[in-house]
Structure 1
C-alpha cells in the first residue's frame, strides 16, 4: 500500500511539471508588449500556458490605475484582466 501511494505521488508530481507554463518567444513577447502598450500597461512576467490552450499570461503588469494579471488568447486578444 505504501509503495503504491509513493508511486502515485511520483506520477502526480511528474505530470504537474508537464503542465507548467513556458517562456514566450521573442516574437510573442513583441506582440504581447504591443497589446500592453495599447492598454497603457508595461512590464510583468510573460508566460505561455502549455496545457494545450495556447493562452498567454502576463502576471503583475503595471497599468495606470494599478497592477493587473492579463490573459491573452492565441490571437493576442485580451480575454481576461484582473486587478492584483
Structure 2
C-alpha cells in the first residue's frame, strides 16, 4: 500500500511539473541570431518554439515562404535537418 501511494504521488508531481522546465534556456543573443538567420531565409518562428537540444537547437513550427517546417540546427546555426509539416 505504501509503495502504491508513493508511486501515485510521484506520478502526480511529474504531471504537475511543466515540461518546459526540463528544456534548456536559449540565451537571448543566440535566439536573436536564429531569428536573423531565419529572416534571411524568408522564414520566421515564434521565439517560444526555439529550444536548446544538446549542442544545437530544435525549432518547431517555422513558417517559410514555401511552407511550414520543423528544423534542427547545429551549434553553428547550420541546418542539420528540415522537415516539412
Common fold: TM-score over 0.5? yes
**Contact in 2 for aligned 1:43/1:61 (Cα 8 Å):** yes
Equivalence map 1:8-19=2 (5 Å): none
**Contact in 2 for aligned 1:23/1:46 (Cα 8 Å):** no
Q: Indicate which of 47, 50, 53 corresponds to 2:51.
A: 47
Q: Indicate which of 28, 31, 34 corresponds to 2:33.
A: 31
Distance 1:70 1:35 in 2: 13
Instruction: Report which of the two structures shows the higher radius of gyration computed on alpha carbons.
Output: 2
Distance 2:84 2:23 in 1: 21
Which structure carries more helix by proportion? 2
- What residue ranges of structure 1 are gaps of 5+ in the alignment? none
Deviation at 1:26, TM superposition (A): 0.7
TM-score when scaled to structure 2?
A: 0.68
Task: Determine which structure has greater relative contact order: mean sequence separation of CA pairs < 8 Å that are 6+ residues apart, divided by chain length.
Answer: 1
| Number of residues of Structure 1 aligned to a counterpart in Structure 2 | 80
CA root-mean-square deviation = 2.9
TM-score when scaled to structure 1?
A: 0.68
